[in-house]
Amino acid sequence: MAKLIIEDLVDWGKSFTDSNGNFYCGTTDEQKQTAIRVAKDSDLWIYLVDIHTRGSSEFKANGGLYPAHNLIKKDWYDLEKLGVGKGKTVSPELTDTFNELVNDLPSGLIVPRHVFFQDYDGEAEKKPAFSYKDVEDTFGVKKLNSESFLDGDIKYVINAKHMFNGSAIQSTEWMGYVKGAPTMEMNAFTLLKQKYGKGKDLIINHTGVVMGICIYQTASGVKQIFPDAEVNIIADGATHLIVPALGFGEEDTADLAIKKMCKQIGINYITSKEYLDRR
């Protein structure tokens, strides 16, 4: 069986990778173009993307670590109250450079059940923070049809998340039925697991932002789900978060650390040239 090439686009959104993004991480046009060169021959594209509400516990305005980012569209108002400057975007939409490539592909949206409850804090009333339609309206993409996806008809999946590890899910079964939320906890990877098992027929590449947080953690999770798959991080198609207060002050140090961490768990940390030369 021919290998299926999956491109995991990790947080390639406007908030993070465009220069006017409210949580711009320093992504360059060269990194975007490098990631595109690697991704062009992919069979399936999965956009792993944070989505949040105004009340997200991640935001500095709410006591968290990070600037406001990746808001669902219905919350794009009074942004100055969240510390968003004039002309800055909080959109989770895929950066235009990539959107040109996937815009015409058969697509679908999946929002894992736990994402609806990301800021649940023990309230007696268990209520989703938003609706599926809110997310569909944000991205302009309709809910994924699982059967079509497993049949190979869907080529581009927007997989909403809120955790650093985009492949992970959290148990919400103890909540029981909650009106407005999916009844099952699943994401693109749990669906693919049904078809590909341990993943011997998969090549899964990771590009995007940021290396030490979402890219590494997602790739690590993917390798655990598909231990027999070839799992790659494309070093020059991704952005390190170089912020001393958040751990790394120098890119060389960050690069070496991630390279060694990947080696420990069987992930290939390689350049685009190394990958494409093998293709």
Q: At 161, is the pLDDT very low, low, confident or very high (cuts 50, 70, 90)?
A: very high
| Per-residue model confidence as pLDDT tens digits over 250-266 | 888 989 999 999 999 99
Q: At 274, is the pLDDT very low, low, confident or very high (cuts 50, 70, 90)?
A: very high
Amino acid 257: pLDDT: 94
- Which has the higher per-residue pLDDT, 15 or 2? 15
| Per-residue model confidence as pLDDT tens digits over 182-215 | 999 999 999 999 999 999 999 999 999 999 899 9
- Angle in degrees, 0-180, between the axes of helices 216-225 and 251-265, rounded to the nearest 10: 10
pTM over 0.75: yes
| Per-residue model confidence as pLDDT tens digits over 167-185 | 999 999 999 999 999 999 9
How many Å apart are CA 180 and CA 96, to the nearest integer? Answer: 31
In this model, does residue 82 exceed pLDDT 80? yes
Amino acid 116: pLDDT: 98
46 SS3 class: strand
Q: What is the DSSP string of 158-180?
A: EEEE-SS-TT-----GGG---TT
| Per-residue model confidence as pLDDT tens digits over 28-70 | 999 999 999 999 989 999 999 999 999 999 999 999 999 999 9
Query: In the predicted model, what is the mean pLDDT of the chain?
Result: 96
In this model, does residue 1 exceed pLDDT 70? no
Residue located via tokens 């040239």: 273
In this model, does residue 20 exceed pLDDT 70? yes
CB of 36 closer than 8 Å to CB of 274: no
- Structural domains of the chain, ranges and CATH numbers in brackets: 4-278 (3.40.50.850)
- Which has the higher per-residue pLDDT, 136 or 246? 136
Amino acid 2: pLDDT: 75
